[in-house]
Structure 1
Amino acid sequence: MKLTVQVKLVPTPEQAAALAETLRTCNSAADWVSQVAFKQRVFTRAGLQKLLYLELRARGLSAQPALHVIRKTADAYRTLHTHVQTGLLGRAGSARRAKAESRPITFRAEAAHPFDDRCLSWQMDARTVSIWTTRGRLKSVAFTGKPSQLKTLAEYRRGESDLVHRDGKWFLIATCEVLETPLNTCPRDWIGVDRGIANLATTSDGDNHQGSGLQRYRRRMARVRAELQAKGTKSAKRRLKRRARRERRHAAHVNHSIAKTVVADAQRTGRGIALEDLQGIRDRVRLKRHQRATLSSWPFHQLGAFIAYKAQRAGVPVLEVDAAYTSQTCPRCGHVCRKNRPTRDDFTCMVCGLAGPADHIAAVNVTRRARTAWAFVNTPNAAVSPPPGKGQSRAANPPSGPGS
């Protein structure tokens, strides 16, 4: 499987100036290629290379950087056309789609640029790289990173690396082909994971990853954001962008930590991981006004994606199950009722009296549904259940509906 590893470059002032000039030159060339491609309606790599390669060489780019500029521009247009065809930019005639199709794609002066092994070489023992620039080949550009990142980079690096300039710092993002552990096709059981806001993740084992710290952090960031938006100056807008990136990094760090813990528990015990299918939850759930912004910006999908790719690397199976009524269903007697959950945090079955934290009960129900789903998936000739009779209780066939 493919992973990316980010390392920080530590260039001298002269090396940093050469890197900055290289990024500006390459992105300026990409802007020019984009304008010509848009004007002449030529968007393929082969067509642009035939049309503009010699001109790019005349502008001071070497052979491989010129090809990377062409490929970068062609890929940008291919992504745009894919978004148009799939309707991600709205219907035909919509303002958003018309705006995207009416002008050429532009590239920021310091946008990331790819380098392959002909333009960039790594000296892992010396912790340096040699990289092509418009001022010539820069040698002995130091880099640093976490020991685990450097180990992955040394063992599994393959393909291109992107040069990135962000917040005055230089980074190289390298692609690595990491070997996967064989998938555990016969898990002993399943760890159910219930995702939420007050508790970011609660497992069927009773482990609770609270979101109160992240909530406080996001509320504080919201207050700072409101103050900067009220100023409206250019410096305030720059700070807003930096704050937004910082907030995303913090949320991603929290999700990485949770996913790492859940996957490690599943791998150690030989179990799989069961998640609720939250596709379309924003359309199904009715919220009060003050809750809408929190739910819309909460990284539910990111946590699920982190768990999925870490589990794939560890050979742990991941299964998504229906999220309907998981926190209103009693896992002991099967009774489904909204009154089973008198408060957000508590569950008390109205029939058998089973009580406990609502999120833990939901995670247990996710585990139970995963067992059933996995049994049917791995049974070639699973018998079809007969239709329920008149005397069958509601608990045996809980209704389908939006998740709690």
Structure 2
Amino acid sequence: MKIVTQVKLLPTSEQASALEFTLRTVNEAACWVSGVAFKRGVPREYELRKHTYAELKARGLGAQAAQHTIKKVRDAYTTLKANIRAGNLGRSGSKRRARADSKQITFRPDAAQPFDDRCLSWQLDRQTVSIWTTAGRLKGVRFACSPDALKTLRDHRRGESDLIRRDGVFYLIATCDVHEKPLNENPAAFLGVDLGIVNIATTSDGRRHTGRGLNRHRKRQLDLRKKLQAKGTKSAKRLLKKRARKEARYAADVNHRISKSIVTTAERTGRGVALEDLSGIRNRVRLRKDQRTNLHSWSFHQLGRYIAYKAKRAGVPLVYVHPAHTSRQCSECHHIDRKNRSSQSEFACRACGVIMHADYNGSRNIARKGEEAWTAGRQSCVPEPA
């Protein structure tokens, strides 16, 4: 499986200027290529190359950089068409879809630019890279990363790496091809995971990963942003810029730790993982204005992605189940009633009288549904007896 590893570049001032100018140049060229592609109806990459390659060379791009710029533009249009076909930009006739389809794709000056092994070489022992720029080859550009990331780069790095500039800092995002463990085709059971806002994740083992700390952090960040935005001074704006993405990084770290705990538990006990399919929940749910911030900052999709790739890497089966009635159905007698959910945290069955934490009850229902879905899929592969 392919994963990415990010390292932070530590260039000198001269190297930083060369990298910045290179990114700006290739992205300006990509915008020009995008205009040509849009006018010509987005031709195939080989045909697009015939119309743009000579001009890109004249703009100072090397042969490989020109090829990657053309491919980047063509891939961007391919992704746009795929999103339109999948309905991710709205239904046919919607303003958002029409707006996306009626103009050419543009690239930010700091947008990522791919580099292959001809344009970029790694010296992992010295923690430096040698990279092509429009000003010539830069050698000995230092980078910093964790020991785990360095080991991953040394053992598994394959293919291209992307150079990106974010908040004035340069990063290299390297593609790594990591070996997967064989999938456990016969899991002993399934570990159900109920995702929520108050409790980020509750497992059918009864473990609750509470969201109290994350929600407090988000509230502090929100209050601080309001105060700084109200001031509007230069120092306030500077501090706002400095704290940008701080909340997102904190939430990502929390989700990484939770997903690692869930997958490790499932792998150790020989079980699979069952999750709810919550796609589209933000469009389905209607909430009061004061509740919308919590819903739209809820990073359930990110947590689901982290669980998915960690499970795949560990060979742990993962299934998604329909979320219908998981919070209203009793996990003991399977009775469904809206009144069973007496509060946000308490579940009291009207039929059998069992009382338990509502999220724990939901996770048990998800585990049962996951096992049923996996068994149904497995049975469909078994030939009929003679």
Q: Does TM-score exceed 0.5, indicating one fold?
A: yes
| Secondary structure, counterpart of 1:378 in structure 2 | helix
Once the two structures are superposed, what CA deviation does each residue of 1:238-271 show, in whole Å capped at 9, x if it has no partner?
8767655322222211111100000011111111
The TM-score normalised by the length of structure 2 is: 0.90
Which deviations, in whole Å up to 9, do the C-alpha atoms of 1:12-41 show, x marking residues without a partner? Answer: 222111111211111122222223333344
User: Against the structure 1 CA distance between its residues 153 and 53, is the aligned structure 2 distance closer, same or farther, given a 3 Å change threshold?
Assistant: same
Structure 1 equivalent of residue 336 of structure 2: 336
Structure 2 vs 1, CA of residues 242 and 93 (structure 1 numbering), >3 Å: closer, same or farther? farther
Separation in 2, partners of 1:284, 1:93 = 21
Q: For residues 191-241 of structure 1, what are the alpha-carbon distances to aligned partners after superposition, in whole Å with 9 as ceiling and x for unaligned? A: 111111100001111111000111112222223344455567899778767
Q: What letter matches 1:261 in structure 2?
A: S
Question: What is aligned with 2:136?
Answer: 136
Match of 2:316 in 1: 316
CA contact (8 A) 1:192 1:364 kept: yes
Which whole-Å CA distance do the structure 2 matches of 1:330 and 1:82 have between them?
A: 40
In structure 2, do the counterparts of structure 1 residues 231 and 40 end up closer, same or farther at CA, with 3 Å as the change threshold? farther
The answer for the alignment partner of 2:348 in structure 1 is 348
**8 A contact 2:273–2:317 mirrored in 1:** yes
Counterpart amino acid of residue 319 in structure 1:
V
Find out whether 1:296 has 2:296 as its counterpart. yes
Q: How does 1:9-48 map to 2 (within 5 A)?
A: 9-48=9-48
The equivalent residue for 1:114 is 114
- TM-score, normalised to structure 1's length? 0.86
Q: Percent identity?
A: 58
What is the aligned-residue RMSD (CA, Å)? Answer: 2.5
Partners of 1:300 and 1:123 in 2: how far apart? 38
Aligned twin of 2:378: 378
Structure 1 residues without counterparts, runs of 5 or longer: 383-404
Distance of 2:61 and 2:367 partners within structure 1: 57
Q: Deviations over 1:303-333 (max 9, x none)?
A: 1121111000000001222322223322223
The 8 Å contact of residues 27 and 110 in structure 2, kept in 1 or not, is answered as: yes
* Change beyond 3 A, Cα 1:99–1:190: closer
* Aligned-partner Cα distance in 2 for 1:111–1:51: 23
What is the alpha-carbon distance in structure 2 between the residues aligned to residue 254 and residue 221 of structure 1?
16
Kept after mapping to 2: 8 A contact 1:43/1:77: no
The alpha carbon displacement at 1:185 in A equals 0.7
Contact persistence 2:42–2:77 (CA under 8 A): no
Whole-angstrom CA distance in 1 between matches of 2:235 and 2:227? 13
Q: Higher mean Cα deviation, 325-334 or 195-204?
A: 325-334
Q: Which has the larger radius of gyration?
A: 1
Pair 1:296–1:367, CA change in 2 (3 A): same
Give the alignment of 1:62-81 within 5 angstroms.
62-81=62-81
For residue 157 of structure 2, what is the aligned residue in structure 1?
157
In structure 2, distance between residues paired with 1:121 and 1:132: 9
2:53 alignment counterpart: 53
Structure 1's 73 and 369: CA in aligned 2 closer, same or farther, altered over 3 A? closer
Provide the rounded CA distance (Å) in 2 between the counterparts of 1:187 and 1:230: 55
In the alignment, the residues of structure 2 paired with residue 375 and residue 98 of structure 1 have an alpha-carbon distance, to the nearest angstrom, of: 43
